Amino acid sequence: MKPAWSQVKLRVAFGDVPEFGDELRIESTGRRYQVIGVRGRTLTCLVLPREAEVTGRVLPWQWCSRRRRARA
C-alpha cells in the first residue's frame, strides 16, 4: 500500500469513467483516492488520508482481479 499523498494508477474495468476531481472510496477498507488525471480508462490518482477534505463527487470503488489471457 502506498502512503498518503502518493500517486497511483488505477484502471476502470467496468462502469463509467470518473471525472477529474472525483473521489473514489473503497467501502471495505475506507481507502480514498482523488482522480487527478484521466486517459481513456486509466486513472492517475492521489491516495488521500482519512481526514482530507475533497470537493467533488464521491464514487464507490472496488477492486477486481487482473485476468491475464494466455497467448493464442
pTM value? 0.82
Burial of 45 (0-12, 13-18, 19+ CB in 10 A): buried
pLDDT value of residue 59: 92
Q: pLDDT tens, 16-69? A: 999 999 999 988 888 999 999 999 999 999 999 988 887 889 999 988 877 766
How many residues in total does the chain contain? 72
pLDDT given for residue 40 in this prediction: 94
Q: How many CA atoms lie within 13 A of 65 on its CB side?
A: 3
